[in-house]
A = this chain, B = another copy of it.
């Protein structure tokens, strides 16, 4: 096994979507994409030129092999993806339009990943040589073993001096399924993090506060202050702010807050003609991580993240297979006529 710069840990999912803007099974066809919050970040980082490895467990069948192959196609090292008895997590997507929201039907219970025992991972070996570990709040929500595995990963990374990036991604329905103590587990994960992708709602879940400020940015400011106070390892908190005017038209801005009090705000972008909104947050996270890894300044880092997130909305599928040059082009003049 190589020594990758970034390790991502999480479940790999197959997305089965109705074609175009059809309702699910309106016609008897499904379009398949691969996804998973952490894999989405890993694929983005690989397209940005980073050495990325995925740690996961997939079903030992053609579906598991397909997802693994797809990650590899995007340049992610899959040598740490294990095959095991069981099923792949699936989700069914109906893409909305106009006044009809997109709709996700999850079918991910009892997947090979969710069922994998926490002690089946040898974290020191899996993390060897890494500088970053990316986790999200989806994995610990999948069940006790996955929660323990995520905690083990985060703690091993901390112990090894590997920076942990953590995307809040709070999913109450998943936690309720098995009665996990979301607050306690997420708090332990936040405690290991170098950067969290989270807004005031996530902080509210973890630290118990309520943020009643009228202004959205003020709520984030307050939540960040509380988070930096509670988690001494935490250096950054980043989030997007989204308003959905219709299914095809959103406005999106972003903030990056530093422990040192730096506070960066990226101007709001108008996303019209949205093709695929899934994975937009992961694309943003990957863009911000790229900035941190490359040592870009805060403003460039945040604008890179937001531009990466904007591009994602124009691309079918969960992944955001754009390169640094594509993002830079948008951050630059941002010309929208045909490139020849």
A interface residue numbers (CB < 8 A to B) = 2, 16, 20-33, 61-63, 66, 69-70, 72-75, 87-88, 90, 92, 94, 96-107, 109-110, 171, 173, 242, 244-250, 269-275, 277-278, 307, 310-311, 313-317, 321-322, 326, 329-330, 334-340
Question: Would B275 and A338 count as touching, CB distance under 8 A?
Answer: no
Contact of A338 among B97, B101, B337 (CB under 8 A): B101
- A-B contact list, 15 entries, CB within 8 Å: A2-B2, A20-B20, A25-B32, A29-B30, A29-B32, A88-B107, A96-B336, A96-B338, A99-B271, A99-B307, A99-B311, A102-B338, A104-B340, A242-B337, A246-B273
Nearest 6 A/B pairs, CB to CB: A25-B66, A244-B336, A100-B314, A73-B73, A248-B273, A97-B314
Q: How far is the CA of A326 from the CA of B110 in the complex (A)?
A: 28
Question: Would A31 and B29 count as touching, CB distance under 8 A?
Answer: yes
Q: How far is the CA of A75 from the CA of B310 in the complex (A)?
A: 32
Question: Would B338 and A271 count as touching, CB distance under 8 A?
Answer: no
Question: Would A70 and B72 count as touching, CB distance under 8 A?
Answer: no
Copies in the complex: 6
Contact of A101 among B96, B101, B110, B336 (CB under 8 A): B336
Question: Would A335 and B273 count as touching, CB distance under 8 A?
Answer: no
